[in-house]
Amino acid sequence: MPKAVVIGSGIAGLACALRLGKMGFDVNVFEANAYPGGKIHNLTLGGYRFDTGPSLFTMPHLVDELFELYGEDPKDHFDYIQKDKICNYFWEDGTRFSAYADRSVFIESALKIFDVTAKELEKYLEKSKMKYDLTAPVFLEKSLHKSQTYLSLETIKSFFLAHNLDITKSLHETNTKSFKDRKLVQFFDRYATYNGSSPYKTPGIMSMIPHLEMHYGTYLPKGGMKAITDSLYRFAVSQGINFHFEESVEKILHDQKNVNGIRTYHGEYPADLVISNADVFTSYKNMLQDLTPPNKLLHRERSSSALIFYWGIKKSFPELDLHNVIFGGNYEHEFRQIFEHKTIGEDPTVYINVTSKEEYQDAPKDCENWFVMVNAPGNFDQDWDTLITQTRKNIQHKINTVLNTDIARHIEVESILDPKTIESGTKSHRGALYGASSNSKFAAFLRHPNFASKVRGLYFCGGSVHPGGGIPLCLLSAKIVSELVETAYYEYNTCQKI
């Protein structure tokens, strides 16, 4: 039986392990932490439970199909509820808007709030769908670094219609061309943050994200986001996949052509293939020091990070839902501060996630668990203590204004996660949440590929490589790796190195 090693048990690592296990590999997963899940983790403080990592769950079929690969009913292992309402949005002038997943309801609601026509919204959302349909089969579901990808009918069609994808315009330029209402432009600009980028730099093709969110919907896993990776871990163990916790990989072993295995402090583990779910920058820096790194790819601008406050709130706010956003007043200045000045502006957009709206056990009775996040620059050795103190004040002032409260009086417990601790805790270079940023029209082509071109049998998955960060793209990266392995497996047969 051929042997596979997966480095890291983030969601992409878990998905890779399951896919390789189904293909007949003897799979061993090595994890530096004492638990699986990577960035998807949780925290309990004084009766409050918080998801500490990603809080948005969409495209759940990508999780379901990992169970279905083994002929299992996903509901026997993992369940979730779909939200009719995607998110509540607030502006400091009193404007409020609830975005619904149902397209007709979304348009009807938007017409009441924004200066826009139904025709303008329909046109924008249709184009959003068109962009997704054209690009997903090529840019999200296949390796962009294999020639056969460019010989498919989908790719040829995409290139012929590339002028419709707004690649040469920024997302903000695309949105201002579509709408005159500044608040509506800001609403659609926000989708750049889904890959840690600036709407003033990331290409207009990113306007496909609203379709993805509306078409596939948004969900809350029963038991919180950690239930996703916990269920995959339990299922992987039941399928004979071996996990080695608190065992960091020191080196990926290889000769001039082939991967040979890994080395940890316990010794060497031979393997026919190795998949790194670690940040690709960290993979080269720590585990592949004897391999010439692709510096041009590795030193691209990093995505944004985050500053997160976990607050146990001794009060209930009926105007909030699972997902909530309070917009800053000057969006362009906000992103310039993050990406150019490496700081957090005085008027940041605030995201509040409250899982206790659905999972009542996540907070004591008549209380709420607030995951309060602002976009932040990566860790460049800023004075984080001062920045955190000032940003807390700015956030609380904004919340007080919009919700007409004194939120500090209601905070019972608090924990903080900042770019510095994200970097140290997850080994993500500079604490970037999505690896490289997409602040370039060629961003999709400039991500590190899912394989090493010089070492046969070495692969990469997760948010720092193609196709990008976020739960759905991490799961797609695992799927791409499994397809690459399957192709190599049949090409070289089981008796040769893959």
Q: Is 302 exposed, middle or buried (0-12, 13-18, 19+ CB in 10 A)?
A: buried
pLDDT in tens, 437-446: 888 877 656 7
Tell me which amino acid residue 331 is.
Y
- Contact by Cβ (8 Å): 113, 95: yes
Q: What is the DSSP string of 77-144?
A: T--EEEESEEEEEE-TTS-EEEEESSHHHHHHHHHHHSS--HHHHHHHHHHHHHHHHHHIIIIITS-T
Q: From CA 266, how far away is CA 376, in angstroms rounded? A: 38
pLDDT over threshold 80, residue 417? yes
Going by pLDDT thresholds of 50, 70 and 90, the confidence category of residue 10 is: very high
Any idea which architecture 112-214 has in CATH?
Orthogonal Bundle (1.10)
How do residues 304-358 score in pLDDT, each as one tens digit?
Answer: 999 999 999 999 999 999 999 999 999 999 999 999 999 999 999 999 999 999 9
Q: Indicate whether 291 pLDDT > 60.
A: yes
Give the span between the Cα atoms of 225 and 358, in whole angstroms: 13
- 3-class DSSP state of 275: strand
Q: Which of 5, 441, 56 is nearest to 242 (CA)?
A: 5
Q: Tell me, what's the pLDDT at 92?
A: 96
Cα separation, 414 vs 225, whole angstroms:
20
Average pLDDT, the chain: 92
- In the predicted model, is pLDDT for residue 164 greater than 70? no
Identify the pLDDT of residue 490.
60
Structure tokens at 233: 């871990």
Q: Which of 276, 301, 270 is nearest to 291 (CA)?
A: 276
pLDDT number for residue 487 = 87
Q: pLDDT tens-digit profile of 46-59?
A: 999 999 999 999 99
The span from the CA of 36 to the CA of 230, in Å, is 7
Is residue 149's pLDDT more than 60? no
pLDDT, mean of residues 226-243: 98
Q: Are strands 26-31 and 3-7 parallel, antiparallel or unpaired?
A: parallel
32: tokens are 């530096």
Mean pLDDT score, 225-239? 98
What are the pLDDT digits (tens) for 105-117? Answer: 999 999 999 999 9
Q: pLDDT digits over 456-496, tens only?
A: 999 999 999 988 889 999 999 999 999 999 988 766 554 45
How many C-beta neighbours within 10 Å does residue 156 have? Answer: 12
Query: Angle formed by the axes of helices 182-189 and 171-178, to 10°?
Result: 150
Beta strand pairing call for 249-254 and 259-264? antiparallel
Q: Is the dihedral of CA 207, 482, 278, 352 positive or negative?
A: positive
User: Which of 16-30, 62-76, 285-299, 417-431 shows the lowest per-residue confidence on average (mean pLDDT)?
Assistant: 285-299
Report whether pLDDT(261) > 90.
yes
Most confident of 2-16, 143-157, 161-175: 2-16
Q: How confident is the model at residue 66 (pLDDT cuts 50, 70, 90)?
A: very high
Choose between 52 and 167: higher pLDDT: 52
Asked whether residue 167 carries a pLDDT value surpassing 90, the answer given is no
pLDDT at 159 over 90: no
